[in-house]
Amino acid sequence: MKTILCIGAGYVGGPTMAMIAKKCPDIKVLVVDIDAARIQAWQSDRLPIYEPGLAELVKATLNKNLFFSTDVAAGIREADIIFVSVNTPTKTFGEGAGRAANLQYWEKTAREIKANATSDKIVVEKSTLPVRTAEAMERILHSGNKTVHFEVLSNPEFLAEGTATKDLETPDRILIGGHDTESGHRAVAALADVYAHWVPRNRILTTSVWSSELSKLAANAFLAQRISSINSLSALCERTEANISEVARAIGMDARIGSRFLNASVGFGGSCFKKDILNLVYLCQHYGLTEVATYWEQVVTMNEYQEDRFAKKMSSTMFNTVAGKRIAVFGFAFKADTGDTRESPAIRVCRYLIEERAAVVVTDPKALENAKKDLADLAGKITYEPDPYKAAEGAHALAVITDWEDYATLDYKRIYDSMVKPAFIFDGRNCLDHKTLFEIGFNVHPIGKIPLSHL
Ligand code: NAD
Ligand code: UDX
């Protein structure tokens, strides 16, 4: 039986390996992590991450052909193929701080693989990495080593949180980058065979290692760019009485543009978009491509502008002050169907409101624990309330930050009756029924649309 190891049991490593285990009963799948609590959680009924369908997926394979452990060295010795799916956050110190990827966790795994491998291995870059990282990985793996051969492949992950199991089961494509050598071709074929257990061969794309590494950064940059583009126009809509939903529909019907990823919002969040664009920006700067770097950096600048614009609009609409006012923040996760709050627009919006001395109460069905960690320095200044009705009680305004489906079907008459008047709703996702809310009595402020105001 073939053994696959994944180093890093996070949002990518856990779900991806669970899917491989389910689809490949002939393969033993080991997932290791240095975080013992995380490993323990994967083996329990309370998984370390929330993702629809994931609990069932893990349950179906756990301890059959899917195993979680903290013994990284033993896993390396046993495996034929080693996926590396450790975190690659933005560097916060030294050269490239705030832009470059922090590769310290990555490099550590390379050294661990080298120290423990006793037979040839295929090493797969699953993490998102700067272009040409595989070159550095190969150098480390082969330094002072003549006996074991390591073939490094790039196989970036395109899953989105909230839809991870679906994305893994029916991916748009699987991308595998390998070297144009005999051992490179063999390794690419071996990895393609794993995915071919359930992904049609014509969706398994093979390229050079460098194209594969760059394609991952490029895909995220293009997706984020669409959101920043539509968000930039939402600001213009608010000045000109054009409606951003109508504009998005009109342009999205052009088959060349396409309709997806054109929802104007309070801003994009998530652990990937900002980090990966800044990584791209840093790479361009490194290669002296200043104009290219500036072009992509603007996507992030526009996103921060949109988050700030939303927060400031709340204050200016509410008679230029939120001080002492109770504001119920509906949703802290960076998108629906996840408990993940990394880079959530809610963080910036809440910080602004607290700075302006508002009494902030945050509600979210899955993300309150993470919210408390993100805003730990504001402990005592923010209230956390799982029940949205209680959160809204006595509030002057609701700010919808996450598009949780449940928020569209709440009893807004009941909520309105419990709020201070005039009552405001700032819909940062355009996910509520604005006309009905207005008829109930709310002053409704969407993104990129004319406000519905009784004042
Ligand atoms: P994560 O932080 O959830 O998980 C990474 C895990 O790696 C952590 O549990 C950490 O303890 C572990 N780790 C770090 N160093 C280790 C070591 N030396 N040995 C063993 N374990 C170690 O991160 P994630 O969200 O899963 O992202 C992983 C990579 O995948 C990143 O490069 C990210 O950019 C990329 N990616 C993420 C997503 C996403 O939606 N989250 C999607 C596509 C790609
Ligand atoms: C993204 C990529 O989609 C995925 O391919 C990659 O592997 C990881 O990064 P993720 O960040 O999990 O996935 O979620 P995504 O659905 O892309 O949403 C990112 C952010 O953009 C969220 O805050 C979301 O609410 C926002 N968004 C998305 C919009 O504001 N408008 C849209 O039209 C789409």
Q: Looking at residue 1, what is its pLDDT?
A: 81
Using a 6 Å cutoff on CB, does residue 151 contact ligand 1? no
SS (H, E, C) 330-366: ECCCCCCCCCCCCCCHHHHHHHHHHHCCCEEEEECCC
Mean pLDDT of the chain: 97
Using a 6 Å cutoff on CB, does residue 41 contact ligand 1? no
How many angstroms separate the CA atoms of 124 and 378, rounded?
Answer: 41
Give tens-digit pLDDT for 351-405: 999 999 999 999 999 999 999 999 999 999 999 999 999 999 999 999 999 999 9
Amino acid at 386: P
Q: Looking at residue 146, what is its pLDDT?
A: 74
How many angstroms separate the CA atoms of 11 and 80, rounded?
Answer: 23
Unique residue bearing structure tokens 């034929």: 80
pTM exceeds 0.85 = yes
Burial (0-12, 13-18, 19+ Cβ within 10 Å), 291: exposed
Give tens-digit pLDDT for 24-65: 999 999 999 999 999 999 999 999 998 999 999 999 999 999
Which numbered atom of ligand 2 lies nearest the CA of 269? 23
CATH 3.40.50.720 for domain 2-207, yes or no, is yes
- Give backbone dihedrals phi and psi of 215, rounded to 5 degrees, phi first: -60, -35
**Whether 178 contacts 190, CB under 8 Å:** no
DSSP-derived letter for residue 401 is: -
Q: Is 272 tagged catalytic?
A: yes
Residue 268 CA, ligand 2 centroid: distance in Å? 7
How many angstroms separate the CA atoms of 257 and 29, rounded?
Answer: 40
How many angstroms separate the CA atoms of 93 and 241, rounded?
Answer: 44
Q: Domain extents for the chain?
A: 2-207, 209-455
Residue 353 CA, ligand 1 centroid: distance in Å? 31
Which is the CATH superfamily of the domain at 209-455?
Answer: NAD(P)-binding Rossmann-like Domain (3.40.50.720)
* Residues β-bridged to residue 2: 27
Rounded to an integer, the average pLDDT of 7-21 is 98
Fold agreement between 2-207 and 209-455: yes
Rounded to an integer, the average pLDDT of 244-270 is 98
